[in-house]
Amino acid sequence: MSKFRMKQCAVMLLTGIMTLGLFSGCGSKKSSGSGASQAVSGVKLLYIGTDKEDAYRKLLVDSVVAAAKDAGCDLTEAECGNNVEEQVKAAASAKKDGYQAIICRLTDGDTAPQIELAAAGLPIVYVNNEPVSRALSKNKYVYVASDESQAGSYQAEYVAKKLNKKELNIVILEGEKGHSGAIQRTKYVKNYLKDKGIKFNVVFMDYANWSDTEAEAAMKQFFKTKQSFDAVFCNNDTMALGAVKAMKEAGFDPAEIPVLGVDATKDGCQSIKDGDMQFTVYQNADGQGKKAVEIASLLGSGKKVDSVKGVTADGKDAWVPFESVDASNVSDYMK
């Protein structure tokens, strides 16, 4: 028996439903990003995951589980933590164990070719962490996520309009090193400001690994430099909450200095409602989970995904749109 633990979908369903209620600030979001599903029932799927310590990652896993249940698919979860070797082992045993397709949230995007080699021809749907581009192939290896360029652009757009300054000193707290979301969200914050002719100086940037405690510690370290700052861009809500806590303890007013996150988690939305965080970007875990299951079930049953809503012209990506959230509409994301 392999080292990773296997859990059947039926066992996880109750946990999934409970977690959706606990972590989601968005039970009735404005859009599902999925359209009418073409999911095929009866397909045997393997979900190869990472750790679920982050609120969004946990929500994503539970969304995949719930979507598979709704679609009538037989889904099993392989819990691999953040261990690349365990992910490869899970993929290597999938075909002989009768799985028809794999859904995988990669620990490291660069390892996608290894996962594909180990999977021995099974179709793979990558979700939420982008694999290297050479690993994607139409109707074979498809990436399901939200377009990270939107998240960073939406954050920067909010700050540009809110502060209306020609020059900005900004703080950026990134997720984990090498993660596609962290790279792209940060990149497009900078690109948007540059494109709008706003001069900006990154007075502090550090990895906080999606963690509120690490973000809080990073901000406290930054305060020691005595530099002024106009906004704090965080790659997710959890880090934004840590930044807000540090700022308030140090006497900075987040109502005057915008703190921005991504995900629209329950806690993130509540913080906006309370007047602390000012902005977040809703990343639709439910939509991503449904889309991943839909595409995996189609590929696993030998069908093509060209007509699935959100699939790009080259057939390699399937996008679930981000949505902007601030005080004006946050109540819509807390139902």
Give the pLDDT confidence score for residue 79 in this predicted structure.
Answer: 82
Q: Is the pLDDT of residue 114 over 90?
A: yes
Please compute the mean of the pLDDT values over residues 269-294 and round it to a whole number.
96
- Specify if 329 maps to a domain: no
Place of tokens 């365990």: 86
- Specify if 138 maps to a domain: yes
- The per-residue pLDDT for range 52-73, each reduced to its tens digit, is 677 788 889 999 999 999 999 9
Place of tokens 């934004």: 240
Q: Is the pLDDT of residue 325 over 90?
A: yes
- Specify if 327 maps to a domain: no
Q: How far is CA 320 from CA 81, 157, 275, 288, 302, in A?
A: 25, 20, 28, 6, 23
Q: Are residues 199 and 313 in the same domain?
A: no
State the residue range of the domain holding 217: 148-282
Q: Is the pLDDT of residue 310 over 50?
A: yes
Q: Are residues 290 and 226 in the same domain?
A: no
Tell me whether residue 92 is exposed, middle or buried, using C-beta atoms within 10 angstroms of its C-beta: 0 to 12, 13 to 18, 19 or more: middle
Q: Are residues 269 and 219 in the same domain?
A: yes
Q: Work out the mean pLDDT of the chain and round it to a whole number.
A: 89
- Specify if 335 maps to a domain: no
We report the CATH number of the domain holding residue 123 as: 3.40.50.2300
Regarding beta strands 5-8 and 74-79, do their DSSP bridges make them parallel or antiparallel, or are they unpaired? antiparallel
Q: Are residues 84 and 126 in the same domain?
A: yes
pTM of the predicted model, to two decimals? 0.75
- Specify if 328 maps to a domain: no
Query: Is the Cβ–Cβ distance between 181 and 206 less than 8 Å?
Result: no
Q: Are residues 140 and 161 in the same domain?
A: no
Per-residue DSSP letters for 163-211?
H--SEEEEEEEE-STT-HHHHHHHHHHHHHHHHTT-EEEEEEEEE-TT-
Q: Are residues 288 and 139 in the same domain?
A: yes
- The per-residue pLDDT for range 135-144, each reduced to its tens digit, is 999 999 999 9
Please compute the mean of the pLDDT values over residues 140-165 and round it to a whole number.
96
Q: Are residues 208 and 307 in the same domain?
A: no
Q: Are residues 119 and 104 in the same domain?
A: yes
Please compute the mean of the pLDDT values over residues 89-111 and round it to a whole number.
95
Query: Is the Cβ–Cβ distance between 154 and 281 less than 8 Å?
Result: yes
Q: Is the pLDDT of residue 26 over 90?
A: no
- Specify if 333 maps to a domain: no
Q: Are residues 68 and 130 in the same domain?
A: yes
Please compute the mean of the pLDDT values over residues 319-327 and round it to a whole number.
96
- Specify if 141 maps to a domain: yes
Q: Are residues 10 and 105 in the same domain?
A: yes
- Which of 181, 63, 52, 188 lies closest to 128 in space, CA to CA? 181
- Specify if 215 maps to a domain: yes
Q: Are residues 126 and 186 in the same domain?
A: no
Kindly state the percentage of the chain with pLDDT values over 70. 89
Which distant-in-sequence residues (6+ apart) come within 8 Å of 280 by Cβ? 237, 240, 260, 261, 262, 263, 264, 265, 268, 269, 272, 325, 326
Q: Are residues 100 and 63 in the same domain?
A: yes
Total number of domains constituting the chain: 2
pLDDT range class, residue 90, cuts 50, 70, 90 = very high
- Sign of the torsion formed by the C-alpha atoms of 291, 293, 299 and 303: negative
Give the pLDDT confidence score for residue 35 in this predicted structure.
Answer: 60
Q: Which of 5-9, 121-125, 289-293, 304-308 has the lowest mean pLDDT?
A: 5-9
